[in-house]
Amino acid sequence: MLPLIVFTIACSLLTVDSQAKQAHSKSPCPDERAWTGTYRNFVYGFSIVIPRGLKGYWNSARCVPDEKVGCVCMGDHGRFIPLSSETNIEAFVGYQMEPGSVVDQERHEISSLRQDETNREVDVVRSRWFRLGRLHARRFEAHFLQGNKPIVIDHIIALHKGVEYELILRTSPERHVKDQIRFERLIASWRLTPRA
């Protein structure tokens, strides 16, 4: 009886090991899966909590599957969180590409909105200092038409040690109040974390 028990245990360990290898080998590249709960970016040093009921997706260039290493990815620049088919929250991060202050970065973002030929009637309805975690940030709200669709953007920009952190809500006037609640939850969860 003892040899049968030992044999059964050995077979189940092999099955578990085989399933673990199979699950590991089939694990998707990070750009092929949805994320929930806490998301932490080790390269740029921040974390957010994706609001309950929502999913975050890779917010960078597509990864390329590779037989030897699994996936080759350019970098992890945050998460894209759909709220509906046309509205979303974006948590984006990257190295600061242009010199200057956070005010300069805000001016650049507003200028880009105005220069985009698909946008009409860009109106910055609010621009103010804001605290993102422990960082001094700028926050602006802009309303405009893209095609014939009215758009509302709530955009937060912070700089820290050569890194630019952004949180952006893109919504419609009809959904603005509802989507703003989820955006505020995400903002409240934002933290600087140690960089790897």
Q: Give the containing element (helix H, strand E) for 107.
A: helix 102-115
Integer distance in angstroms from the first to the last C-alpha of the chain? 52
Q: How many CB atoms lie under 10 A from the CB of residue 97?
A: 8
Confidence category of residue 6, pLDDT binned at 50, 70, 90: very low
| pLDDT digits 0-9 by tens, 75-104 | 889 999 999 999 999 999 999 998 899 999
Q: How far apart are CA 80 and CA 184, in angstroms?
A: 16
pLDDT at 21 over 90: no
Confidence category of residue 28, pLDDT binned at 50, 70, 90: low
The confidence score (pLDDT) of residue 180 equals 97
DSSP, collapsed to helix, strand or coil, labels residue 92 as strand
Average pLDDT over all residues of the chain: 86
Kindly tell me the number of DSSP H helices and DSSP E strands found in the chain: 3, 12
DSSP, collapsed to helix, strand or coil, labels residue 118 as coil
DSSP, collapsed to helix, strand or coil, labels residue 114 as helix
Tell me the mean pLDDT in the region 120-148: 97
8 A C-beta contact, residue 11 and residue 3: no
Confidence category of residue 186, pLDDT binned at 50, 70, 90: very high
